[in-house]
Amino acid sequence: MPTAPRAIIHVDMDAFYASVEQLDDPSLRGRPVIVAGLGRRGVVSTASYEARRYGVRSAMPTAEARRLCPDGAYVVPRHTRYQEVSAVVFDVFGEVTPQIEGLSLDEAFLDVTASLKLFASVEAIGRRVKEAIRERTGLNASVGMATNKLLAKLASELSKPDGFLRIDRHEIRGYLDPLPVGKMWTIGKVAEEALHRVGIRTIGELVRADNWRLEKALGERHARQILALARGDDERPVVTDAAEMSIGSEWTFDIDLLELPIAEAWMLRQCERVGARARARGLDARTVSVKLREPPFVTHSRQAKLPVAGNGTPEIYAVARRLLRTWWEQHPRPRLRLLGVSLSGFDTVEMPQQDMFAAPVEKKKTDGVQDRINEKFGAGALTRAGVLKTRSSE
């Protein structure tokens, strides 16, 4: 017997960070809101739809956004608040299926194939998700539905904002063919330009192109993959409980750092952040990586293993600080415009680490107290004394 088609839903919150800010501050509603770093080297995280009319986009330098939209409301990101709202959204997902693949705080794929036995249709499930998110958060979600991930994501994107669209198999060509090839998943700027050079600008033209042109532009293997997607074929499963690959935090400085003690203070601040996030997720890391960028854009990466897998801030900082000092001593005139720390190689925490070399209990208690206070009163409410050097240079 033929396998029944899958029912996949893609949910993407509309301008998530900016929408949360407008929800919490009614004076921002209807105004162009830009959530961004506000320093000289800040970058836009999210722009409301009102701001997008001015050409403001995510990943754009804040300085450029200010030129395009000088009267916009510029807001510093509040990640703790966004995580709170995200938890409510993901609770809604869990009410219709356990098959959830989270892509970010505000985006996920749901495989609701098995849930069709309980609900009338994939549209009924999608409508339930959309309305529940609206009722519990006050925010709009765009919902796309199809038989695979590619088409479900396309459906949510095409129907934004406040979207709701299902793409059936017989409708694939009508939706895909007119789109620019750059809209296709896996086609980046380089591949897009290569396709343009051989006269292929739309997905419809790609599907109808001869193999010689496609392979000339993309190479044989990539051409086969892209052609399958262009035809609407996508067998990727919804991957539930995908292991988090890394947890990172970084900071770009308005004025280059020239002193090692100040750089160490900033390193400690980033270690506090990633340590808290790892503890909140119940994850022990094995590897600490540091990211160091010299002006203008020369980036160095260094990494080392923790003696014992863990998530304690002192242990993370000890490794990160050693990597920073080694790099600093290797450069005759060290200066930094960006500094970051990330954790990877995670194990799920099942019981307290029983190891004679593990951090003393007092240090782990300190982390726990700090986490609880910052969770209650906001990030940065309680911090180590060594971090105070960074306050004057924010």
Give φ, ψ of 48 to 5 degrees: -65, 165
Residue of 21, 50, 101, 107 marked catalytic: 107
* The one-letter amino acid at 234: D
The answer to the question of whether 233 is labelled as a binding residue is: no
The amino acid at residue 243 is A
Structure tokens that stand for 114 in this block: 């098995």
Closest CA to 327 of 304, 296, 310: 304
Give the largest CA-CA distance in the chain. Answer: 70
Q: Is 235 a catalytic residue?
A: no
**138's torsion region: left (phi>0), alpha (psi -120 to 50) or beta?**
left
Residue keyed to tokens 């240079």? 393
Determine the Cα–Cα distance for residues 62 and 195; give it in Å rounded to an integer. 32
Instruction: Tell me whether residue 12 is annotated as binding.
Output: yes
45: Cβ contacts below 8 Å, ≥ 6 apart: 17, 35, 36, 37, 58, 77
Query: Residue 105, Cα to own-chain centre: how many angstroms?
Result: 7
- In 3D space, the residue among 82, 84, 164, 168 whose CA is nearest the CA of residue 128 turns out to be 164
Strand pairing class (141-146; 164-166): parallel
Active site residues: 107
Q: Which residues are annotated as a binding site?
A: 12, 106
Q: Which residues are annotated as a binding site for Mg(2+)?
A: 12, 106
